[in-house]
Amino acid sequence: MSRIHVTTTINGDSVDYLCEAGDTLLDVLRDQLDLTGSKEGCASGDCGACSVMLDGRLVCACLVLGAEAEGRSVETIEGMADGETLHPLQKNFIDKAALQCGICTPGILVAAKDLLARNPDPTEEEVRYWLAGNLCRCTGYDKIIRTVLETAAEMRGAA
Amino acid sequence: MAKDEFQSRAFKVVGTRVPRPDGLDKVTGRARYGADMSAPGMLIGLCLRSPHAHARIVSIDTSQAEAMTGVKAVVTRADFTVTPEDQGTRDILDNVMAGEKALYDGHTVAAVAATSRSVALAALKAIKVEYEVLPHVIDVDEAMKPGAPVLHEGRQQESVPEGYSQNVLARSQYGHGDVAAGFAKADLVIERSFTTAATHQGYIEPHACLATMGNDGQGDLWCCTQGHYMVRNTCSAILGMDAGRLKVTASEIGGGFGGKTTVFLEPVALMLSKKTGKPVKMTMAREEVLRASGPTSSTSIDIKIGITKDGKITAAQGDFRYQSGAFYAMNGALGAMCGFAPYDLENVETVGWEVVTNRPKAAAYRAPGAPMAAFAVESVMDELAKELGLDPIELRLMNAADEGTKSAYGPTYPAIGLKATLEAAKAHPHWSAPLGPNQGRGMGCGFWFNFGGDTCVSLMINPDGTVSLSEGNPDIGGSRASMSMMAAEELGIPYEQVRTVIADTATLGQNEVTDGSRVTFAVGLATIKAARHAIEIMKARAAQVWGIAPEAVEWVDGAAQPAGPNAGKFPPMTLKEIAATASNTGGPIAGHFEVNAEGAGVSFGTHIADTEVDPETGAVKVLRYTVFQDAGKAVHPDYVEGQLQGGAVQGIGWALNEEYIYGEDGTLQNAGYLDYRIPVASDLPMIDPVILEIPNPGHPYGVRGVGETGIVPPLATLANAVSRAAGVRMTSLPMSPPKLLAAIKAR
Amino acid sequence: MRFETPQTIEAAVALLAAEQGARVLAGGTDLLVRLRAGQIAPSTIVDIKRITGIAEITAEDGGWRIGAGVSCAAMGEHAGLRADYPGVVEGAELIGSTQVQGRCTMVGNLCNAGPAGDSVPAMVAAGATVRIAGPAGTRDMAVLDIPQGPGKNALAAGEFVTSVFLPARAPRSADAYLRFIPRTEMDIAVVGCAVNVILEEDGTVACAGVSLGAVAPKVLLVAEAAEALIGTKCDDAALAACAAAATAAATPIDDKRGTVAFRKDVAGVLARRAARLAYTRALGDPS
């Protein structure tokens, strides 16, 4: 089976890979590019653990084919921190105990960052609905929602 | 021995909210979970699973699959030639690779290892299995009847009376007093029957492992598990190898909740690796997780409680029928032990039943067996309170167990926190807040035993005065942070100077699984004792330098100092100073402690929930939720809160929408997150946690496990809240909208 | 399996017509799930998103033409579309999560012909049409006629839907879509109901469409429910009649998501609530 050559941008870097037509972007990120921060929890778009940005749109990498990324721009959890400097959401998720096992954390951080970029002052309800596609089984969401709201306030204050 | 461990003290580190050591890895995507590890030359393994609920495996033809390019091995039960010694391990083998029969939809019947996932998938399709489909049974009450399709012959224990199907494997009974006499004294007796559906732990990380076996008889295994020592012991027994020749390393674990306290893929991956001589990686798809890994029991429960008109329980009786899937579990017994544990009862009798059905083997799920029992008992308590016009919390307080109470399951309680949680709930503004139309408030209590168990800890004093702590329990809720905190507290050094790691099975002695809410208690206890051991050595080193007796040295604020004026006048010698000169005073310094920890300290919680019911659709909205639980001592309050919140929400899911749904053919209808409906963020309010601290006499700092109790009260709490909001008593979980609407229309 | 990215509608038609096993990829939120589950094994995946103009929303004859590559999230961000067809947009925006919204399309939702597609009832109630490209050229078809039963659509070999057209809005018109799910998000509709109304100047309903999802093998347009509203001001009696007609029209099944009795009851409840909502919106409609 002939493989497809794809040139794309991931976390700002130009990347080439070969994939089968049926490989998802998540398969490519995890198995070929060693970007294992995006997790496979369901492979059906129901858990959000593989959330990434594709051309500025929040998507599940399991619902995108690797071949579709040709010429596009992908951002993953691995690109969220700026070198040693964590994004305020990342820092606060640690400081405010907004994670337990951490398997959902990358997807939630990517999704929450996109929310705050679009809506710097979301209500609790808006945060809950925006993140409804990111399943977390450990926390009951309480500290996640609080931390996103508190980070939004902090970022508004800093801006 | 355990009772006198606790000593009151002023804490410096314990009780603070320090950042977790695994935090950075987890927020940057660096943390490596089960499926995140690869090896050079690695093959991909996949399982072929039975499409039938119950079928005899007539034949398996693997020849076509084996002949495919890229397929390196196919294994079936025929490859597992060793019969493990104990029945429990034989059951696990039968569960991970079907023998003569496939016992449930999703039961593994063969597995392949191939050079890619797509080749492995094609190979699965090329395996030909001939099945003789047998009648199946899914429901617990049906499975108990004589004439039900039988899963296993000759496995019934002597405790089971005649007249039941062979599917009833065991019966157990608990209690004291004379219930008949007690009921005769009652002014009011309420007797109700309840059912609960099977639910899954729902961890977001599917099971995954990477196995490497060679013909030298040695093996390495990387896997996500709650207990890598358990994995080592079980896999080595199944493969017939020495445990010491299998090294198991626990990955970061993406949730377990009891579901990762056994093995599924690991023995299969090891066998595939053994057969191919190459590393084999296996990961479950979500569908496989739901079809073949550990759901909890579905149940059918009868409860009868007699009470005087002023609210004193005179007798309590319960019959707890639990199905545990295709193999034995003791969930019915645990339910029978836990249901009435919150109460001080003169007359109580409970019976637990263990029943097998054509469903996946039940695994532990957070306080296994207890939430369903509490649902049934606390629902009747709510109805009693309503009938008698009593405040539900008041009714519990009038009958609450306390220090010295002989529990419903036997032992007499030491200091416990049930009444404290009830008093706190009663005084909380939530309990008296106004309610609107179609809204109802419910409360419920819950109990869990907690556990200690085999534990090893090793604590190394590094030359620069930092401390490396090795423990053997996968960190599922922040335990590396809390171990570092307890070590720092005991040693008198800052938290940042201690780093805790989870050792592999070749690096530290046997450790019990991360279960029974045991880690903060038992590993914490061992950590404190290992620190005290290191302190003794450091005191001796200081004594040696000073030329005084070791007994004349005491340890204060991270330094050795003479115990009194008679010991001599020396300036304190800090841990850092002792560490720096250790090489010259006798060599490296390390403390260690090994124990089968007892005195875990039972745990109680009380929950309050407000719900609103849409009477036209049966939709339930949870408006407000408050958790009161005794933590003994909250080592890291944020993480304790997280346990209470997470447990409550799992219980809310169980109460409202989660359930295993089977078709007429016995196949699972909802093996995915789309229709196995765990709560999403928009379903929930904030979960308000209130931590009580009634010290556990069995732990030096008073710590009790907190992980499990939080899931025990919510089923009942929600049922009571919904029943009050809807004006109809809900006795069957989940209270999904179709069920609730039908009940409302029938009221 | 091959992967193709035609740049034109003609090229896409050629690819689809050439192989029976070719499948259209738009948002991919259904296709990829089925691929992964092994339910389908296309010979070629034809990604239509690189066709010029396929991901655009354009004004046409006073109405809106929505390309087959427009994500539901993009619909939600389009102020003009939202103002004219709040019900169509809210239906589209209920599909899946935020992440799924970024990919899924209304046309995909329609062509998959799942009985419970959230975006379909509002399109049907609004009298929307689709434009179909195929080997024989282009044709238009009512949205109502696309689904033929669970998983079956009316497209012929080599055809694919290139856009949806929502007709020009009359003054004092509006729509609404409500669905019932067990949770608040992430579920497939157990019942869905869309109502579209156009009012006279005095607030009397002149024209109505009531459509139900998930209560029959395919989306239903319930004429009796619409007639119950026409000529009324959506008073309680009219709403009750509308609800009763919706309940009567529903022919659902028992399955893992709901029972027959539940779905019939809730169809009526949602019809009443959606009608009231659409009516209130139309009253407030300044145009």
pLDDT at B447: 98
Q: Which residues from A are below 8 Å from C98, CB to CB?
A: 58, 111, 129-133
Closest CA to B162 of B149, B146, B151: B146
A 13-42 residues with CB below 8 A of B?
20, 22, 30-31, 34-42
Domain boundaries, chain C: 50-166, 173-282
Give the rounded percent of residues in chain C with a pLDDT score beyond 70: 99
Tokens linked to B87: 């029945």
Read off the pLDDT of residues B599-648 as tens digits, 9 standing for 90 and up: 999 999 999 999 999 999 999 999 999 999 999 999 999 999 999 999 99
Q: For residues A87 and B666, what is the distance between their CA atoms, to the nearest angstrom?
A: 49
What integer is the mean pLDDT of A44-51? 98
Same domain assignment for residues B107 and B65 = yes
User: Which among A65, A111, A130 has the least Cβ separation from residue C32?
Assistant: A65
- Does some domain include residue B160? no
Q: For residues B320 and B199, what is the distance between their CA atoms, to the nearest angstrom?
A: 17
Q: What is the mean pLDDT of chain B?
A: 97
The segments of chain C whose pLDDT lies below 70 read 285-287
Burial class (CB in 10 A: 0-12, 13-18, 19+), B162: exposed
Closest CA to C178 of A124, B616, B738, B676: B616
Give the rounded percent of residues in chain A with a pLDDT score beyond 90: 97
Return the H-helix or E-strand segment holding B607. strand B603-613
- Indicate whether A143 pLDDT > 50: yes
Q: Which residues from A are below 8 Å from B203, CB to CB?
A: 101, 103, 137
Q: Which residues from A are below 8 Å from C75, CB to CB?
A: none
Q: In what order do the strands lie in the sheet with B498-502?
A: B498-502, B467-471, B453-461, B589-597
Same domain assignment for residues B371 and B310 = yes
The pair phi, psi for residue B79, each rounded to 5°, is -80, -20
- For residue A17, what are the CA distances in angstroms to A6, A13, A23, A50, C48? 5, 13, 12, 19, 22
Same domain assignment for residues B436 and B481 = no
- Residue B1: which pLDDT band, with cuts at 50, 70 and 90? very low
pLDDT at B471: 98
End residue of a domain, out of B257, B283, B309: B283
- For residue A91, what are the CA distances in angstroms to A110, B364, C276? 13, 34, 47
Total of domains in chain B: 3
Read off the pLDDT of residues B420-456 as tens digits, 9 standing for 90 and up: 999 999 999 999 999 999 999 999 999 999 999 999 9
Q: Which residues from B are below 8 Å from C246, CB to CB?
A: none
Tokens linked to B503: 């050792």
Q: Domain range for residue B457?
A: 2-30+452-597
- Indicate whether B566 pLDDT > 90: no
- For residue B271, what are the CA distances in angstroms to A127, B45, B57, B82, B339? 46, 11, 21, 12, 42
- Chains adjacent to A (≥3 CB pairs closer than 8 angstroms): B, C
Q: ω before B734 within 30° of 0 (cis)?
A: yes
Give the rounded percent of residues in chain B with a pLDDT score beyond 70: 100
End residue of a domain, out of B545, B569, B597: B597
What integer is the mean pLDDT of A33-40? 98
The length of chain B in residues reads 747
Q: Please tell me which residue of chain B has the smallest CA distance to A37.
A: B29
Give the rounded percent of residues in chain B with a pLDDT score beyond 90: 98
Same domain assignment for residues B542 and B633 = no
Read off the CATH number of the domain in which B104 is found: 3.90.1170.50
Q: Please tell me which residue of chain B has the smallest CA distance to A32.
A: B38
Same domain assignment for residues B711 and B590 = no
Same domain assignment for residues B622 and B691 = yes
End residue of a domain, out of B544, B568, B597: B597
C 221-260 residues with CB below 8 A of B?
255-259
Return the H-helix or E-strand segment holding A122. none
For residue C177, the tally of other CB atoms under 10 A from its CB is 33
Decide if C40 touches A, using CB distance below 8 A. Answer: no
Same domain assignment for residues B386 and B519 = no
Closest CA to B601 of B8, B5, B10: B5
Read off the CATH number of the domain in which B647 is found: 3.30.365.10
pLDDT at B565: 85
Cβ-Cβ contacts under 8 Å for A118 (sequence gap 6 or more)? none
Closest CA to B268 of B44, B63, B489, B483: B44
Decide if C60 touches B, using CB distance below 8 A. Answer: no
- Residue A2: which pLDDT band, with cuts at 50, 70 and 90? confident
Assign domain C173-282 to its CATH superfamily: CO dehydrogenase flavoprotein, C-terminal domain (3.30.390.50)
- Chains adjacent to B (≥3 CB pairs closer than 8 angstroms): A, C
pLDDT at B3: 58
Please spell the DSSP secondary structure of B455-468, one letter per residue.
Answer: EEEEEEE-TTS-EE
CB distance A42–B672 less than 8 Å? yes
- Indicate whether A81 pLDDT > 70: yes
What integer is the mean pLDDT of B233-244? 97
Under DSSP, is residue B495 helix (H, G, I), strand (E, B) or coil? helix
Q: For residues C80 and C203, what is the distance between their CA atoms, to the nearest angstrom?
A: 23
Same domain assignment for residues B582 and B614 = no
- Indicate whether B4 pLDDT > 80: no
Three-state SS sequence of B348-409: EEEEEEEECCCCCCCCCCCCCCHHHHHHHHHHHHHHHHHHHCCCHHHHHHHHECCCCCECCC
CB distance A36–B35 less than 8 Å? yes
Instruction: Look at the block and give the residue holding tokens 């603070």.
Output: B16
The topology under which CATH files domain C50-166 is 3.30.465
Same domain assignment for residues B515 and B541 = yes
Three-state SS sequence of B631-676: CCCCCCHHHHHHHHHHHHHHHHHHHHCCCCCECCCCCECCCCCCCC
Partners of residue B112 on adjacent β-strands = B46, B74
- Does some domain include residue B219? yes
Same domain assignment for residues B236 and B369 = no
Strand B246-250 relative to strand B219-223, pairing? parallel
**Chain C nearest CA to B317, separation (Å):** 34
Tokens linked to C262: 């539940």
CB crowding A26-60: b at 16 or more within 10 Å, else e: bbbbbbeeebbbbbbbbbbbbbbbbbbbbeebbbb
Q: Which residues from A are below 8 Å from C73, CB to CB?
A: 57
Which residue spans within B473-542 are E strands per DSSP?
498-502
Q: In what order do the strands lie in the sheet with B559-562?
A: B553-556, B559-562, B573-574
User: Which among C185, C187, C269 has the least Cβ separation from residue B616?
Assistant: C269
Tokens linked to C190: 């157990």
pLDDT at C286: 56
C225 contacts C210 by C-beta, under 8 angstroms: yes
Q: For residues C127 and C147, what is the distance between their CA atoms, to the nearest angstrom?
A: 14
